[in-house]
Structure 1
C-alpha cells in the first residue's frame, strides 16, 4: 500500500461539503445491475454487455484474482485496448480493494518497464496482440528487470479464461467479496502522467476523488440514464478512465467504446447506437467534420462534444455549428492530478467557447498568482493553482515532490496545487491557459514529455546537444521538432533518429516528427538553452 498525503482534515472537509460520498464505482454497478439488469452497459468493437452480465463477470474475475494471490492494496497493471475486458478488470480490482494501474497501449519497454517497476505491480494483463504488436513478448523481456515477481495474464488465453470460468459460481462463494469492499478513501487508481524531468509520475487517486470528479457532469452537461456515451481516447488516460469506463455506470447509462479512432466508423456508431455525448481531444472534432459524407448520416442524437487537452479554433466551432446544428461544443481543462477542473457551459457565447478553457466545476477552486504568491487581478497572467475534491492524494513514492507543489492556504483551507501552467481568469471567472511553465508539448491533446525524450536522444553516440520544441500544426496544435548539435565527424538522419528511439523502447507517439541539425543551440550566459528562440526559429522555417 502506498503512502499518501490524504489527511483526516481533508476527509472531514470534503465529506461535510457533500463532495465525498463514501462510494466506490462497484456500488453504482450493483445498484444498476439490480434496477436495470437487462440494460446495455458497454458496447465495444466485438460485443455488448448488460449491467447484470457485467456484474456477474466482474465478480468472477474478482474471485479469480483472489485465487491467483492478488488482494487488497496490490497493484494490477493492465495494458489493454478500449474493450469490455478493460472495464471488467478495473471493476474486479475495485471489488477486492486492489489498485488499478492502466497503461496506454502505445507504451513500450522504456515506459512499461519503469511504470510497472515503480508501481511494484503484482500482476500485468495484456492482449496477445493489438495493432500488430506482441505484448506478452515485451513483458517477458522486461520481467527479469523487475525487483518484484510479476504474474502475467494474456487476454484470450487459458490464464485469462480461468478468471471468467463459469465454474467459479460452483467453486467459490461470491459472498467472500463483500468484506473486501474498500474504504472510499483508499487508493483505487495509480495512473502515470508525462514526466518533465525524465521520469513519468504516478498519480494516486482514491475512490472518493474519482467519484466526485464525475458527480457534476449530469447537471452541467445534461447526462441522464438515457444518455449514450462514447469514448475513443484510451481508457488509460484520465479522460478515458473517467468518461469512458465510469461515467455511464455512475448514471446507469450506456457507453460505446472505440478501440481505434476512425472518424468514419464513429459516424456509423452514432447512427447505430444513437450516441449523445463524447469527450475527446480537439483533433477528433476536426476529423469528424472532415468525414466526406457527413451529411448523409443521421447524427441528430449527438448533442455534446467535449474537447479536452487543446484550444478549440474558432473555425472548427463554426464548422461544427454549420455541419451539426444540434451539437454543442464545449472545451475544458484539467490534468491527471485533478481531473477536469473547468469546462464550458452549454449556451455560452462563442467567445467563451473559443477564448477560454471553461468555468470551474462545483467544488473546484482556481486562482492565479504572481511570483510572490499574491492573487492577481482579472485577465492578468500568472501561475495557475487549484484545489478541491478532485485533487489527487500524491505521487507514488514521490511525496516530497508532491509537497513541493503544494502551497499552504492563508484562509485555513486546503493547500493549493501549483499546476505548472500559466493562465489568467476573466471577469466572469472563466479560465484561459496562456502558457506552460512545464516543458511539455501537447500534440492533439496528448502530452509529450520533452525531457524524457531528450534524455533518450542524449544516449545516441552522435548527439552532443539536443532540445525538443513545439512547432505549430493546424490540426494537432503542436508537433515536436528535435534540434540537435552533432559530435564532430558524425551524421544523423531523421530515419536514424526514429530507429534509435524504437531501439530504446520509446513510444512512437513521443518521437519527434522533424529533425533539424544546428551548429549550436542558443543559450543564456549561464548555459541554459533558450527554447523560446528555437521555437520562434522553427515556427518560421
Structure 2
C-alpha cells in the first residue's frame, strides 16, 4: 500500500497543524448544540489549541499510548477535539453511540478496558452520569468519567480545558514522544453484533486516511465544498466523512446533533453547505420538508446515500424538486465506503446499484467454492484494499480475510460487467433500520428470557421511509400472556437501546420450522412483507 502511494503515513493531526499554520482563521467546525441552543464556531487554530490542551489534560489524567478513551457524545465540537487529542498522544479513540444504554455500555467499555469515558451531562433529556454511576462497579478498568456540560469536579471543561496543562508539560516533547505510528491502531469502533456481542473493528491512520482521500476524490469534493453532517460522528459515516474528511480537504463542517429536516435546511442554506451524507431517510426527509428550497436557491449540491436502497422516485424527486445530485454508496465499519456511483453516472445507476469500487479498493462476488461468479449472478461479496480494517479486538478468529487479502463482508450481491454492485441480501442476521444495524441475536436472546415467551424470532419488516423496521414473532407459553407493552417494558428494564426494540409484535401459535426444528425465518420475512408501511 505504501509503495503504491495509497498509504502516505500522515496523521490527521498533521493535516490540522498544516491548515492551522497556513490559514489560522479559516473556519473548521460549526456546532449547533440542541442542549444549550448555541452554535460554537471554531477556526482551525482554535480547534488545534483546544485539541492540544485536551491532549495534555489526558496525559495529566494518566492516559498512555495505546490506552482506550471512549466518548459517547453527540455531534458536538468536543467529539472532534477529543479524537484529535487522542491521536496527538497515541491513545485509541472509541466512539460510542449516544443511544447506547446499560446493556451495551457494560460490555463495550469493559471489553475494551477503557480508561476514560466522556459523556454529555444531559442529552435529549437523559442523565448520562447517573447511568454510569450505576455501572461503575462492573467496570474495574474505567478510572474516570467526565461530562460535557457539567460544572462540577468531573466537568469536561473544568478538568481538560480550564486547567493550563501546557504549564505542566512540554507539549512539543510530549507529543513527539507519544506520536503514534501510522500503522498503529487509533480507532476502535463496535459493529452491530449478529451472533451475540458486537465486535470491535480496529483502524489505523493509514486505513482511515486512505479511505477518506479515495472517497473525496471519487465524488469530486474539494476544499471549496462545505460539509454538513447530521449522521452520528460515532458511526463510521460521520467519523470518516464528517470529522476527518473536512479537515483533509481543509474546509469546514457543520454539525447537527438532533435530526430535524426543517432545521437542517435552515442551516444548510445559511452556512452555504454543498455536500452531505446519510442514510436514505435523511434524504427523504429533506425532500419532503416544508422549507425545502427551489433548485435555483438550493445550496446543497451532492447527497450521498448509504445504508439502504434508494427508491427510484426519491432520486427523481430530489433531482427535480431540489436540483440535487444523489450518489449511492455501500460500505461497512470495517472499511468505510467501498463503492459509490459517480457524479456523472446516469440516474439509473443511482437507484439500481450501490456503485463501483473506489481507487485503492476492489470488490468481487464469489460462489460457495470461493470462485468469482458470472456478471449479474448473486454471490457473497468480498472486498480488499487500502482502507480495510486491521482486525477485531480480541477476536482474531473472526477476521475473515484470506491469504490474498480478501475480506468476506457477509453480504450477498450481484456485480455487472462494468463493476457496479448491488447488495441483494445479507448472510448475517441483521436488520438495517434507517442505516442503523439492529443486532437481532441480542434482541431475541432478551425476549427468550421473558417468563411468558416460548419462542421468539425478529425479522425485517419493510418500511417506506426507513427501509426496514423490526418485527418480533412470538409464541407464548400456555397460561401466559404477552403484548407489545410487555415487550417494550422488558427491553427497557434490560437496558437495551430503544433503537433496537421491535416496532411490531405478532403473536403466533407456533413457529414455522425445518425438519431439524430450526425456525424458518424466510417464511416469517414473507409474512412481515405484508405488515410494513
TM-score, normalisation: structure 1: 0.94
| Equivalent residue number for residue 2 of structure 2 | 15
Alignment partner of 1:393 is 2:393: no
Instruction: Please state whether the residue corresponding to 2:267 is helix, strand or coil.
Output: helix
| Equivalent residue number for residue 98 of structure 1 | 91
| Equivalent residue number for residue 366 of structure 2 | 369
Distance 1:474 1:509 in 2: 17
- Superposition deviation, residue 296 in structure 1: 6.4
| Equivalent residue number for residue 349 of structure 1 | 346
Residues 148 and 250 (structure 1 numbering): CA distance in 2 closer, same or farther, change over 3 Å?
Answer: same
Match of 2:462 among 472, 483, 490: 472
Distance 1:301 1:107 in 2: 34
Residue by residue over 1:325-360, the C-alpha shift from the partner in whole angstroms, topping out at 9 and shown as x without a partner, is 2x2100100111111110110011111111000010
Q: Which moved more, 1:519-528 or 1:153-162?
A: 153-162
| Equivalent residue number for residue 71 of structure 1 | 64
| Equivalent residue number for residue 162 of structure 2 | 165
Is the CA contact 1:204–1:393 (under 8 Å) kept in the aligned structure 2? Answer: yes
Is the CA contact 2:355–2:420 (under 8 Å) kept in the aligned structure 1? Answer: yes
| Equivalent residue number for residue 311 of structure 1 | 309
Instruction: Please state whether the residue corresponding to 1:16 is helix, strand or coil.
Output: coil
Match of 1:24 among 11, 16, 36: 11
TM-score, normalisation: structure 2: 0.96
Distance 2:83 2:142 in 1: 21
Instruction: Please state whether the residue corresponding to 2:391 is helix, strand or coil.
Output: coil
Distance 2:95 2:255 in 1: 16
**Mapping for residues 312-327 of structure 1, pairs under 5 Å:** 312-325=310-323, 327=324
Is the CA contact 2:292–2:322 (under 8 Å) kept in the aligned structure 1? Answer: no
Residues 297 and 354 (structure 1 numbering): CA distance in 2 closer, same or farther, change over 3 Å?
Answer: closer
Is the CA contact 1:267–1:297 (under 8 Å) kept in the aligned structure 2? Answer: no
| Equivalent residue number for residue 499 of structure 2 | 509
Is the CA contact 2:55–2:86 (under 8 Å) kept in the aligned structure 1? Answer: yes
- Unaligned ranges ≥5, structure 2: 33-38
Is the CA contact 1:198–1:453 (under 8 Å) kept in the aligned structure 2? Answer: no
Is the CA contact 1:98–1:188 (under 8 Å) kept in the aligned structure 2? Answer: yes
| Equivalent residue number for residue 5 of structure 1 | none
Match of 1:277 among 275, 278, 290: 275
- Superposition deviation, residue 539 in structure 1: 1.6
Distance 1:31 1:298 in 2: 36
Distance 1:162 1:384 in 2: 47
| Equivalent residue number for residue 530 of structure 1 | 520
Instruction: Please state whether the residue corresponding to 2:109 is helix, strand or coil.
Output: helix
| Equivalent residue number for residue 335 of structure 1 | 332
What CA RMSD, in Å, does the superposition of the two structures yield over aligned residues? 1.2
Alignment partner of 1:378 is 2:375: yes
- Superposition deviation, residue 169 in structure 1: 3.4
| Equivalent residue number for residue 6 of structure 1 | none
- Superposition deviation, residue 199 in structure 1: 0.7
| Equivalent residue number for residue 441 of structure 1 | 431
**Mapping for residues 69-468 of structure 1, pairs under 5 Å:** 69-157=62-150, 158-159=153-154, 160=156, 161-165=158-162, 167-175=164-172, 176-295=174-293, 299-325=297-323, 327-402=324-399, 405-409=400-404, 415-468=405-458
Distance 2:50 2:228 in 1: 22
Distance 2:176 2:423 in 1: 45
Is the CA contact 1:190–1:205 (under 8 Å) kept in the aligned structure 2? Answer: yes
| Equivalent residue number for residue 34 of structure 1 | 21
- Superposition deviation, residue 299 in structure 1: 4.6
- Superposition deviation, residue 527 in structure 1: 1.2
Is the CA contact 1:271–1:297 (under 8 Å) kept in the aligned structure 2? Answer: no
Is the CA contact 1:331–1:357 (under 8 Å) kept in the aligned structure 2? Answer: yes
Alignment partner of 1:44 is 2:31: yes
- Superposition deviation, residue 493 in structure 1: 1.2
Is the CA contact 1:229–1:244 (under 8 Å) kept in the aligned structure 2? Answer: yes
Is the CA contact 1:467–1:483 (under 8 Å) kept in the aligned structure 2? Answer: yes
Is the CA contact 2:265–2:291 (under 8 Å) kept in the aligned structure 1? Answer: no
Is the CA contact 1:268–1:297 (under 8 Å) kept in the aligned structure 2? Answer: no
Is the CA contact 1:342–1:359 (under 8 Å) kept in the aligned structure 2? Answer: yes
- Superposition deviation, residue 401 in structure 1: 1.6
Is the CA contact 1:481–1:515 (under 8 Å) kept in the aligned structure 2? Answer: yes
Is the CA contact 2:278–2:305 (under 8 Å) kept in the aligned structure 1? Answer: yes
Residue by residue over 1:253-303, the C-alpha shift from the partner in whole angstroms, topping out at 9 and shown as x without a partner, is 000000001100110011110001001001100000111232369753211
Instruction: Please state whether the residue corresponding to 1:418 is helix, strand or coil.
Output: strand
Distance 1:434 1:97 in 2: 40
